[in-house]
Amino acid sequence: MKIKEIIVVEGKDDTAKILQTVDADTIETNGSAIDDAIIAQIRHAEQKRGVIIFTDPDYPGERIRHIVAQAVPTCKHAFLPKDQALAKHDKGVGIEHASSEDIKAALSAVYELTEQMQPVFTKQDLLRYGLLGHRHAAERRRILGERLNIGQTNGKQLLKRLNMFNITHREFDNTMQAIIQEEKNEG
């Protein structure tokens, strides 16, 4: 079973720990300097699947939680007590230091389970529209990410996000056809 909601965390170490513990997708804020693109991704995720904010139990983590909750007030919140998030050998505090059992317990109060979905999109879909291996691939991915509110990505991340945000083939096809038509009109 997979957690339906997308979990908002601070960074890569938090994502790695979450993925060791549960089957879920994450959005990383990359610290407290949350930009408009990340907020847009979180809003989009909330509309598509729901969001759980799961930040570190320290001042920066609470600041991030506050910023995200103000921008997207319908998010769910998972909390980890500070004593469960302490690093063993240094003074660090964070989700990445918590035990898998403590993370599961914190999330269990707020998540919904969903059936494991088979990916809708494959590498073939990306190749068909020149999102990989094409001279305009990077620019096409950038425009597609903006229009679908899933952010700018490389090819591998694009595939993950198309599936993570439950983008339909119709949305994808219509958007890509418009992008390609605009390229033809400009050229």
Q: What SS3 state is found at 83? A: helix
Q: Taking a C-beta distance cutoff of 8 angstroms, is the pair 175, 144 a contact?
A: yes
| pLDDT tens by residue, the chain, 187 residues | 689 999 999 999 999 999 999 999 999 998 878 899 999 999 999 999 999 999 999 999 999 999 999 999 999 999 988 888 887 776 788 899 999 999 998 998 787 766 666 778 999 999 999 999 999 999 999 999 989 888 888 988 899 889 888 888 999 999 999 999 999 898 7
Identify the pLDDT of residue 125. 94
The token duo for 78 is: 């998972």
Residues 108 and 78 in one domain: yes
Mark which of 62, 81, 114 sits at the end of a domain.
Answer: 114
Between CA 24 and CA 32, with CA 26 as vertex, the angle to 5 degrees is: 150
User: CB burial class (10 A; 0-12, 13-18, 19+) of residue 146?
Assistant: middle
Q: Hey, how many other C-beta atoms are within 10 angstroms of the C-beta on 68? A: 24
Number of residues that make up the chain: 187
Residues 109 and 146 in one domain: no
Question: Which CATH number fits the domain that encloses residue 104?
Answer: 3.40.1360.10
CA distance 1 to 155: 26
Residues 18 and 107 in one domain: yes
Q: What are the Cα distances from residue 130, in Å, to 26, 93, 169, 176?
A: 27, 43, 16, 9
Mark which of 114, 140, 171 sits at the end of a domain.
Answer: 114
What amino acid occupies position 120? Answer: V
Identify the pLDDT of residue 31. 80
Mark which of 53, 85, 114 sits at the end of a domain.
Answer: 114
Structural domain harbouring 63: 2-114
Residues 101 and 40 in one domain: yes
Q: Taking a C-beta distance cutoff of 8 angstroms, is the pair 1, 107 a contact?
A: no
How many domains are there within the chain? 2
